Amino acid sequence: MASTTLVAAATLAARGSGGRSSVSGIAATVFGSTGFLGRYVVNHLGRIGSQLTVPYRGDELYSRHLKVMGDLGQIVPLPFELRDEQSIRESVRGSSVVINLIGKHYETLNYKFADVHVHSTKALAEIAREEGVSHFVHVSTAAPLADCSSEWLRTKKEGETVIRDVFPDATIVRPTDMFGSEDRLLTRMANNIMRLPFVPLANDGESTIQPVWVNDVASVVAAAARDPDRFAGKTLELGGPDVLTVRELYDFVSTSIKRDARFLPVPAKLMQFIFKFAGARLPVLNPHPEYTSDQVSVESAQVVLDTSKQDVLRFEDLDAVALSVHSDISQEILRRFRRGGDRSSLFYVD
C-alpha cells in the first residue's frame, strides 16, 4: 500500500494556472512548519498548489494558521513526535520531498541540542529514505564552527554530516541571522532597548553579522523543493547584502523605533557566563528564553558568509537579490515598538 501511494504522489501531474487552486505536482512534508521560517516555506509552496503535510507537536492550534496557505485540503496538519518512528513514517509517506526546518535555540529537559539537531535529523532522513522519498532539503546555519564553543552550532554542523551520510544528494541550506515578523533578531533588540536601562553588548557589539530576510530564505528552500534536479547535492549559503556590527544594527533599531538606547560593553566570556543563568530555560520564570549563552558564543563568532568558498551557491548564483535590512520591511517590523504605538512618522522629528 505504501509503494502505491508513493507512485501516485511522485507522478502527480501539474495543472492549472499556477495559483493556490492549481496543482503544482509537488507532494511535500515540511517538518518544523510551525516555526519562524516554516510558515514562509509553507506559504511559498501552498501558493502554487502543492500538497503539503505539516507535522506538528503539541496542540493542533499551533498549526491552524497554515491551513489557509493552500486550497481546501491541500495543507494537512498531522500530529507527530520526534521519538515516535511510526508517526514520522506516516508524516513522510506519500511525499516526494521532505523539508527539515526543525531546530531549537535553547535546550529543555526532554530535548537537548543533540536530540533535536542530530538524532532526530538522522531519524527523519533514514525513514524518508525507507519510504522512497526522492529529495531531502535540510536547513542548517551559516555560522562558522571554528573557535566557537557553542553546543548549538556544533550539533547543527553534525546534523549536516548525518544528512550527507543518509542522503548524499540532499540540499543543505545555510542562512545567516534571519529577520522578519516575530523574529529573534530585530524584535529582540527592540525589546531590549525598551525594557533595559542599559543593553549589554558582548565585546561592545564589535562582532559582524549579515542579516537576511526570512522570506528570501524561504523562497530558496521552496525552489529547492520544486526543482530537485537543479539543487540535488548542493549546499547553499544565504546572507543579506549588508554586513554590519551588532552595535550598528542596534543603532539602526534604536533610530527606527525612535527611542534612545544606552549600551553596556561586556567581555564575551563574561557575557556567556551571565547568560548561563539569565538565559537558562525555567518552566515558570523563563519558559521561552530569547537570548542564551550559546547565542552569545555564535554571535561572537562573526556570522557572515565566507566569499572565498567555491563549492556553495549564493543568491547571486540563483539570479536573486536579497532584501536589505534597511528596507521598508524592517521599518514595518519595528514600527509597533515606537513610543505610544503611533504608526505615522509625521509625528516624529528626525
As a dihedral over the C-alpha atoms of residue 286, residue 287, residue 292, residue 295, rounded to 10 degrees, the angle is: -150
pLDDT of residue 289: 85
The residue ranges of every structural domain in the chain are: 2-179+212-239+305-322
**In the 8-state DSSP scheme, what is residue 16?**
S
Secondary structure element (H or E) that encloses residue 30, with its range: strand 27-31
pTM of this structure:
0.91
Mean pLDDT by 10 residues, the chain (350 residues): 36 68 87 95 94 91 91 92 94 95 90 94 95 96 78 92 95 96 93 93 93 97 95 96 96 94 93 87 82 87 85 94 95 87 56
pLDDT for position 288: 83
The DSSP 8-state label assigned to residue 172 in this structure reads E
Looking at residue 22, its pLDDT comes to 77
73-121 tens-digit pLDDT: 899 999 999 999 999 999 999 999 999 999 988 988 889 999 999 999 9
Beta bridge partners of 78: 55
Looking at residue 276, its pLDDT comes to 86
The pLDDT of residue 343: 58
CATH superfamily label, 2-179+212-239+305-322: NAD(P)-binding Rossmann-like Domain (3.40.50.720)
